[in-house]
Amino acid sequence: MKLWDGRFSKSTDPMVDDFHSSIRFDSCMYKQDILGSMAHVKMLGKCGVISEEDASLIYKTLQEILSDIENGRVTFEIGCEDIHMNIEKILISRIGDVGKQLHTGRSRNDQVALDIRMYLKEETTQIKALLTDLLQVLIDMAENNLDVIMPGYTHLQRAQPVTFAHHLMAYVQMFLRDQERLTDCYQRMDIMPLGSGALAGTTYPLDRHAVAQELGFERITENSLDGVSDRDFVLELASALSIVMMHLSRFCEEIILWCSHEFSFIELDDAYSTGSSIMPQKKNPDVAELVRGKAGRVYGNLMALLTVMKGLPLAYNKDMQEDKEAIFDSVDTVKMCLPVFTKMVATMSIRRDNMLSAARGGFTNATDIADYLVKKGVPFRDAHAIVGRMVACCIEQEKNIEELGIGELKAFSEKIEMDVYEAISLETCVNERNLPGGPAIVSVKASIENARERLQQEEGN
């Protein structure tokens, strides 16, 4: 017996039952489904659509079903299609005809739209908390590494010196933006669709605002067709999560490079590394690689969702049932990646000497020598050419520029004096870049403070 089989003369082929059933992946929304039904039935009673007495029996029974599910006392049936029908059927099996009134003024179309919004609101809040944990670790780490000089790169070629703190704070900016994006898309999840019915609203005098308030929604949807067929909030979340994964993946890529013998900027803790089954010497950054790899599936989910929604006529279409596996997988993946990544970063050790010696090589202070000459009155283009010649000469002699004697330096330009050594030391290079947003210790300290403030603001959101 199906809850909808009145007009049918045959039962569905078991293959069809199996094919269109979503209970395997939507049962995780049992809590949202029940809480949504509880709010709906409470309102039905208050508005006089059903008797207060029946409403309270349904309400109470739903509460019991919720606790039974939580205690593992309920099994769902594939033949019952989805979580919504499973729960309604259990309700009816417990209280008979009274339970049959629950679905008054409601459709599974607005019901599923409600459930998924509620579910994703909670998940979004959890992901934001995980991002906060990561941000806190990164900010603390930056604070402890303000003076650790490392090369900054462009084209993965050593470019100019920065600090490890500055590098970490770049990721802090990314993850703060991720948090803001999640806060932003949360606002568009926070809209209550019940009352949209199947597509055209309902003739019952429902109090939509009361349901919204009961369930902690900020607003109600403004159009019944859109109310049941909007999945923009799913796409927005899938996209925000893809960007989170992109950031994690870039960071992972750097960690993988940094713990290679060639860089040796960091060492991962043994608890966050793995060995090789054949090569006894190996210590591999598998965790970082796997996080980098998992970005692929999260991007794939976004593409799947965009493609499912593309070309769907209004309003509900069964295609939309395909939204769940994709978005749940993105949510679960991000929730799995963030804490393990945070711990991996929190426990890695920094090899500051290697970072410094890498910054000493590669002529990372070349721009500063050109700037030194500019300050002494040489036009920048000429200064650029002079330093270019110095670099070529140093490459031949296998030396850094600061290892040339004053006489050798003067041969490139008469303007060079003894103060050049101080001017081009890596510490000067870093700390003279003290504009807001620069790598100087003062600038990074200020950006740490700003980041802490933004983080606090986000926690309030």
Active site residues: 155, 276
By CB under 6 A, which span of 106-114, 289-297, 375-383, 431-439 interacts with ligand ARG? 106-114
Q: What's the closest the beta carbon of residue 191 comes to ligand ARG, in angstroms?
A: 18
Q: What's the closest the beta carbon of residue 29 comes to ligand ARG, in angstroms?
A: 9
In terms of CB distance, is 217 or 316 closer to ligand ARG?
316
Q: How many residues bind ligand ARG (CB under 6 A)?
A: 10
In terms of CB distance, is 266 or 320 closer to ligand ARG?
320
Site pattern 28..67 for ligand ARG (x: CB under 6 A): ----------------------------------------
Site for ligand ARG in 323-382 (CB under 6 A): none
Q: What's the closest the beta carbon of residue 112 comes to ligand ARG, in angstroms?
A: 4
Site for ligand ARG in 306-325 (CB under 6 A): 316, 318, 320-321
In terms of CB distance, is 113 or 423 closer to ligand ARG?
113
Site for ligand ARG in 11-30 (CB under 6 A): 22, 26
Which listed residue (44, 102, 112, 309) binds ligand ARG by CB under 6 A?
Answer: 112
Which listed residue (32, 37, 61, 109) binds ligand ARG by CB under 6 A?
Answer: 109
Site for ligand ARG in 71-100 (CB under 6 A): 82
Examine residue 108 and tell whether it contacts ligand ARG (CB under 6 A).
yes
In terms of CB distance, is 111 or 447 closer to ligand ARG?
111
Q: What's the closest the beta carbon of residue 107 comes to ligand ARG, in angstroms?
A: 7
Q: What's the closest the beta carbon of residue 317 comes to ligand ARG, in angstroms?
A: 9
Nearest CA among 452, 444, 422 for reference residue 165: 444
Q: What's the closest the beta carbon of residue 236 comes to ligand ARG, in angstroms?
A: 19
Interaction site with ligand ARG (CB under 6 A): 22, 26, 82, 108-109, 112, 316, 318, 320-321
